Amino acid sequence: MRATLAPLLLALAAWTIPACGGPEHDLVVYASHDQEHSEPIIQMFEELTGLTVHAQYDVEQNKTVGLVNRIRAEAGNPYADVFWNNEIAHTIRLKEAGLTQPAESEATRTMPEEFRDSEGHWVGFAARARVIMYSPELLAARGAKLPPNILDMSASAYAGHGGLARPLTGTTLTHFAVLSQKLGRERVLQWLHNSRETDLSYTNGNATVMRRVCQNDFPWCLTDTDDAAAAVANGYPMQVVYPNQTENLRGTLLIPNTVCMISGAKNPEAAQQFIDFLVSPEVEEYLAKSRSKQIPLNPKVTLNLPPEDLPLPYRDYEVLAVDWEATAAELDVVQDEFQKLFIQ
C-alpha cells in the first residue's frame, strides 16, 4: 500500500507539519464508513503526520447507529475525538443533542455551503448516490424490467426481481427519512408496509443486497454507488441507473460522508488536523479514483476527474434537493416506526 499511496502523501505533505506520537494514541476516530475504504485513509494520515490513531469501526449490520449510540452513551466523557460518519442525518442529530463542537477552518470553508453546517459543527465530503444497480444479463434472462423510480420498486411488475436493505441503519435509513420528509410520513410508512406483502427482497445491508445481485438471486437492487463500484471492481458486469424518487419527485439522492469533532474531545488539535485532511482535494481525488468511486465535493478537485466510469451530479444526472435539518428531525420520528415494521 505504501507504494500506491506515495504520490498522495507527497502532495499532502506541504500543508501539514508532522508530529511525534506519544506512548498513547494521539487521536481516536469512530468511523462508520466501510473499513475497507476508511482504514487506508486513516493509515495515510498516520504516515503523513506521525500521529497515532485508534480507530473504531462499525459493522455493516449496525452501520452508523451503533457508533451514534456509543457517542451518546459517552456524553460528558467522550472516548472519541472525531466521528467519521458514512451519512449525514445522524451527524446532525448529534449536533442537536449538544454532542459535537465547532471545527471550522479554512479547509472546511472550502466545501460547498449545502454540504457544511452553518455553525461549523460538521462538514460533508466524498458523497455517494443512491442508485439502482442491475445485471443486464440476468435482467434479460428473466424478461424483467427496471423500476422507473424508487417508489415503483414495489409494483408487481418489478418487486419480484429486486431488493434493498431494510431502512434501519446507514444510508437506507437516511434515504427513507428523506422520502418521509418529502412525501409525507404516512405515505412512506404505508409503502413500506405494502412492500413487505410483495416479493421485494429485504436484506441486512447495502453490501449484502449488492452481493445477492452478483450471485444472481435477483437482477437489480437499490444500493449506494460505492457498493456498485465494488461489484464492478470484483469483475461483475453490473450497470447503474441514477433514479428519480417518484414520477414527480425528481432527482437522485446524494448522501455525503460527514465528519465532526466530538464535544469535549481530548485531542482537539489532532482532531482538527484530521478533519482538514479528510476534506482536502487530494483525499477526495484519491477516494474518487479508488474502488469506492466516491463523488468529490471539494471544488478544488480538478486533477483528471472524474474517472470515465464516475458520472458527476448536476452534469450527468439530476440531484434531489434535501433539507438536511428537516430530514434529521424526521429521522428521529420514523426510526422507531421502521423498527416496528421490520423487527418482530
CATH number at residue 62: 3.40.190.10
Would 62 be classed as within a structural domain?
Answer: yes
Q: Comparing 13-17, 168-172, 296-300, which segment has the lowest mean pLDDT?
A: 13-17
pLDDT band at 22; cut points 50, 70, 90: very low
Per-residue pLDDT tens over the stretch 142-173: 999 999 999 999 999 999 999 999 999 888 99
pLDDT at 304 over 60: no
pLDDT at 213 over 70: yes
Would 316 be classed as within a structural domain?
Answer: no
Q: Based on the fold, state whether residues 81 and 204 are members of the same structural domain.
A: no
| Cα angle, residue 58 at apex, residues 53 and 60 outer, rounded to 5° | 145
Number of structural domains (the chain) is: 2
Instruction: Round the average pLDDT of the chain to a whole number and report it.
Output: 90
Cβ atoms of 204 and 163 within 8 Å: the answer is no
Report pLDDT for 20.
41
Backbone angles phi, psi at 139, to 5 degrees: -60, -45
Would 40 be classed as within a structural domain?
Answer: yes
d(CA 260, CA 254): 19
Share of the chain above pLDDT 90, in %: 74
Q: Based on the fold, state whether residues 105 and 245 are members of the same structural domain.
A: no
d(CA 83, CA 32): 8
Would 315 be classed as within a structural domain?
Answer: no
Would 320 be classed as within a structural domain?
Answer: no
Higher pLDDT, 55 or 11: 55
Q: Based on the fold, state whether residues 55 and 39 are members of the same structural domain.
A: yes
Domain that holds residue 338: 129-253+325-342
Radius of gyration of the chain (CA): 20
- The candidate with the shortest Cα–Cα distance to 198, out of 166, 159, 161, is 159
Those residues whose C-beta lies under 8 Å from the C-beta of residue 222, and which sit 6 or more positions away, are 130, 131, 132, 150, 153, 162, 163, 164, 165, 172, 209
pLDDT band at 343; cut points 50, 70, 90: confident
Q: Based on the fold, state whether residues 56 and 188 are members of the same structural domain.
A: no
Per-residue pLDDT tens over the stretch 92-140: 999 999 999 999 999 999 998 888 999 999 999 999 999 999 999 999 9
- The candidate with the shortest Cα–Cα distance to 41, out of 288, 287, 260, is 287
Per-residue pLDDT tens over the stretch 255-296: 999 999 999 999 999 999 999 999 999 999 888 988 888 998
Q: Based on the fold, state whether residues 188 and 261 are members of the same structural domain.
A: no
Cβ atoms of 249 and 183 within 8 Å: the answer is yes
Q: Based on the fold, state whether residues 195 and 59 are members of the same structural domain.
A: no
Report pLDDT for 120.
97
Q: Based on the fold, state whether residues 45 and 194 are members of the same structural domain.
A: no
Q: Based on the fold, state whether residues 119 and 99 are members of the same structural domain.
A: yes
